Structure 1
């Protein structure tokens, strides 16, 4: 067995030391939750009767309190393709629970918004804080003290982080996440990008664009590009929170149903009354969080997790920062190229061996913590195999090697020697850049700044021909406190057109891009944000800005005296429509992006004096 890489060991040890006091407080919290907190046995007769009043054939079993009652937290809606398959899952889970003498109830629902629908629209300003809303909804759902285990139905961008943040406050409960899988592959990604750029240039109309998009996003299941939603599923595998290999099995298949059934049976095995108790708060520890970061680097995963992972970790009493990400990125090779980092999508990745190959290769190379508490029967070794049906029975088999090295490579022959995410810092603050899809000659851009306070103004300038030059497009007042930190993925086609015309182009912003960050270098999540005094507010049109993933620089090349004398302009007024004003409390109290951009965790830490 290969020893753990020394840098991974060092970073893990540093995180453990940094988090010692807060992690101890957290573990004490969940111990009290199990031993002294409210549970079904302590409910009054009136409480309990309310809890099983409508449970039909399960009422007698719930009433006795002798078998596990499983809480289901569902993000089902039938507008969002990734979550539409969940409509029938609760009944499937209840049937599977009865097979082993257990019961299940839907504990509650959480909102599930789609960034694909709201991208570039007013609703996107609610997107990031929907994560905190989901966390609150999860906590409310679990507060009824009716459950000894928890199955969570959620996949997409903010939904999985929100579910975990909420469930970690009930970390004494064993918890398994159940995905629904990606939709089958549609229009080839290269063709989709071509049509988007033609539309940005005005060479095709809305009808052609809509036809292309409809051929890409065409059925039930997760979008097939490797964005935040599918990065979520990857992380749940390397953290051991799925049934092994569950991430990328298509909806509506027999294998998908059997994995859901197996998760239901397994949650009963790992309850606190048995010999294999595996509570969520112990499964998510420092090593599991490090594994999640490593998985992101090895697969070129979503930049959004530079925000979400610090928030998830913090909910478990663990503190990580972007320096941890950068040091791990330096030693973790890139093993996968999945669109937008390559031509194939997650279905092609899964067919090539997918997560089983990734996990086995990283374990064999000493690049993952094997000895984490997973929801499976052993440790992370279980996740180096893929699920299949043999005579209608679910089994896990070895995948000897990648079936397609254009998609997935061994650690001995990676696509590149380091991971796909870089930390940049300088007189403009700290930010991250995903470079796994960026040609290396574009890792350094030094050009005059063009300053904007709204992404629509960028597009107007593009259409007017005002950006036909080498340029660093600066979009500021996009941080969590300014407008909720929307994704700016709407800018990708226009900036891609400028790059294809031969210009040196970069994006610099205190907002987000997305898990779909592609070929244009984007220095994002710049912190501190402009609102409140971040130095990005000092930039002026024409200032030379250097963005360099090679040296880790994000610098305004402005004389120091001139720079120090500059004021920061007033922020644009906050938007008031489409419900955004309801999130004013969240905006005003959010903390820095590097800390997770979470108002509820900031408030929680203040209350607990952490």
Structure 2
């Protein structure tokens, strides 16, 4: 067995030491939860009667309290394509639970917004804090003390992090996340990008654009590009919280149904009454969190997880930062090229060997913690195999090699030697840049700044020809406290056009880009944010700005004395429409992006 890579070992040990006190408090918390109140033994007869009153044929079993009752927390809605298949999952799960003498109830539903629908719209200002809303909803669902285990139904951007953050407060429960799988492949991604850029230039109309988008996003299942949603699924595999390799099996297939059935059976087997107790709070430990970071680097995953993963970790008493991400990125090679880092989508990735191949390669190279407590039968070794049906029965088989080295490569022949997520720091603060989809010739951009406080103003300037030059487009007052830290993916086609015309172009922002951020260099999540005095507020139009992924720097090239004299501009008034004002408390209480940009976790730390 190969020894663990020294950088992985060093970063893990640093996280363990940094988190020692908070992790101990967390483990004490979930032990109290099991023993002193968050279970059916503590319920009065009146409490319990309310809990099973409408349970039909399961009522006698729930009433006796001698079998596991599984709480289902679902993010189902049929507007969100990824979550539409979940509509029938509760009934499937209840049947599967009965097969092993258990019961299941829908404990609660949580919101599930689609960033694809709200991208570039006012609703995107609710997106990041929907994660915290989901966490609160998950906690409410599991607060009824009716359950000895939990199944979480969620896939997309903020939904999986929110479900995990909430469920970790009930970390004494064995918990498995159940995906629903990606939609089949549609229009080729390269063609989709071509039409978007033509539309940005005014060369095709809305009808042509809508036809292209409809051919890309065309059915039930997760969007097939490798953005935040599919990066979520990869991380759950790396942390051992799915049934092995469940992520990318398409909806509506027999294999998909059998994986859901297997997850239900498995959660019933890992309860506290048996000899294989695997509570969520013990599965999500420092090594599991490091594995998730490694997976992001090895597959070119979403930059949004530079925010979400610190929040998930923090909910389990674990503290990570962007320095940890950067050091792991330097040690872990890029093994996958999935759009926007390549031409193929997650279906092609899965067909080439997918997450099973990646995990096995990383384990064999000493680049993953093998000895984590997963929800499966052994350790992470189980996740280096792919599920198949043999005579209608579910089984797992080895993936001996990549089936397509244009999509997926071994550690011995990676696409690049590092994971492509860089930490940048300098007199403008700290931020991250994803380089895995960016031409190395564009890793360094030095150009005059063009300042904006709204992404729509950027597009107006583009259409007016005001950005036809080398430029660092600076969009500030986009942080969590300013307006909820919306994604700025709407800018990608316009900035891509400028880059294709031969200009040196970069985006610099205290907001987010998208999990689908691609070929334009984007220095994002700049922290501290402009609101409250972050140095990005000192920039002026025309200042030379240097963004460099090679040296890890983000700097205003301004005389130091002049820089110190500058004051900060007045923040634009907060927006009031589409319900954003309801999240004012969240905005005001949010902490830094590097800490997870979470208002509820910032408040929670003072209580445990």
Q: TM-score, normalised by structure 1?
A: 0.99
Deviations along 1:483-509, whole A, 9 cap, x unmatched? 000000000000000000000000000
SS across alignment from 2:181: coil
Q: Distance in 1 between matches of 2:53 and 2:473?
A: 59
> Per-residue displacement from partner, 1:152-207 (whole Å, max 9, x unpaired)?
00000000000000000000000000000000000000000000000000000000
1:105 and 1:324 map into 2 onto residues whose CA distance is 39
Aligned equivalents of 2:100, 2:502: Cα separation in 1: 63
Question: Take 1:574 and 1:324, find their aligned partners in 2: how far apart are those partners?
Answer: 34
> Secondary structure of 2:605's match?
helix
Of 67-76 and 31-40, the range deviating more from structure 2: 31-40
- The reply to whether residue 432 of structure 1 matches residue 416 of structure 2 is no
SS of equivalent to 1:172: coil
Displacement after TM superposition at 1:37 (Å): 2.4
Matched, 1:2 2:2: yes
Q: Is the 8 A contact 2:36 2:42 kept in 1?
A: no
Contact 1:513 1:524 in 2 (8 A): yes
Give CA deviations for 1:319-352 in whole Å, capped at 9, x if unaligned.
0000000000001000000000000000000000
Pairs within 5 Å for 1:176-325: 176-325=176-325
Q: Is the 8 A contact 2:538 2:567 kept in 1?
A: yes
Residue pair 1:152, 1:177 contacting (<8 A) in 2 also = yes
> Is the contact made by 1:300 and 1:436 (CA closer than 8 Å) also made in structure 2?
yes
Render the CA deviation track for 1:502-524: whole Å, top value 9, x for unaligned: 00000000000011010000000
1:35 deviates by 1.6
Q: Distance in 1 between matches of 2:356 and 2:38?
A: 39
| 2:386 equivalent in structure 1 | 386
CA distance in 1, matches of 2:553, 2:590: 26
SS in structure 2 opposite 1:82? Answer: coil
Hey, what does 2:580 align to over in structure 1?
A: 580
CA distance in 1, matches of 2:605, 2:471: 41
Q: Secondary structure at the match of 2:448?
A: strand
Residue 606 of structure 2 aligns to a residue in which SS? helix
RMSD across aligned positions (CA): 0.4
1:39: how far off? 1.2
Q: CA deviation at 1:38?
A: 3.1
Runs ≥4 in structure 1, deviation > 3 angstroms?
Answer: none
Shift of 1:41: 1.6
Report the Cα offset of residue 88 of structure 1: 0.1
Question: How far did 1:34 drift?
Answer: 1.2
Conserved? CA contact 1:240–1:380, under 8 Å: yes
The SS at the match of 1:512 is coil
Q: Distance in 1 between matches of 2:269 and 2:275?
A: 8
- SS class of match (1:197): helix
- Structure 1 contact 301–420 (Cα < 8 Å) conserved: no
Listed one character per residue, the Cα deviations across residues 272-317 of structure 1 (whole Å, up to 9, x for unaligned) are 0000000000000000000000000000000000000000000000
Bigger Cα displacement from structure 2, 34-43 vs 492-501: 34-43
State the secondary structure of the residue aligned to 1:70.
strand
CA distance in 2, matches of 1:44, 1:269: 27
SS state of the match for residue 606, structure 1? Answer: coil
Unaligned runs of 5+ in 1: none
Distance (Å, rounded) in 2 between the aligned partners of 1:568 and 1:598: 25
Equivalent position SS for 1:266: helix
* 8 Å CA contact retained: 1:186, 1:216: yes
Distance 1:42 1:27 in 2: 21
Counterpart-to-counterpart distance in 2, 1:453 and 1:514: 18
Conserved 8 A contact 1:337-1:406: yes
Deviation, 1:36, is: 1.8
Looking at structure 2, the residues matched to 38 and 206 of structure 1 have their Cα atoms a distance apart, in angstroms, of 53
Answer whether contact 1:330 1:418 (CA < 8 A) is retained: yes
Counterparts of 2:560 and 2:292, CA distance in 1? 40
Alignment of 1:121-520 (within 5 A): 121-520=121-520
Gaps spanning 5+ residues in structure 2: where? none
Look up the SS of the partner of 1:394 in the other structure.
strand
- Asked if the contact 1:70/1:147 (under 8 Å) is kept, the reply is yes
Equivalent residues of 1:303, 1:514 under 8 A apart: yes
1:222–1:229 CA contact under 8 A, matched in 2 = yes
CA contact (8 A) 1:587 1:599 kept: yes
- Return the alpha-carbon distance in structure 2 between the equivalents of residues 384 and 420 of structure 1: 23
Take 1:413 and 1:105, find their aligned partners in 2: how far apart are those partners?
48
Alpha-carbon shift at residue 606 of structure 1 (Å): 2.1
Preserved CA contact (<8 Å) 1:2 1:364: yes
| Distance in structure 2 (CA, Å) of the matches to 1:590 and 1:399 | 44
Matched residues in 2 for 1:369 and 1:437: separation? 27
Is the contact between residue 176 and residue 242 of structure 1 (CA under 8 Å) also seen in structure 2? yes
SS in 1 for 2:335: coil
CA–CA distance in structure 1, aligned partners of residues 306 and 312 of structure 2: 11
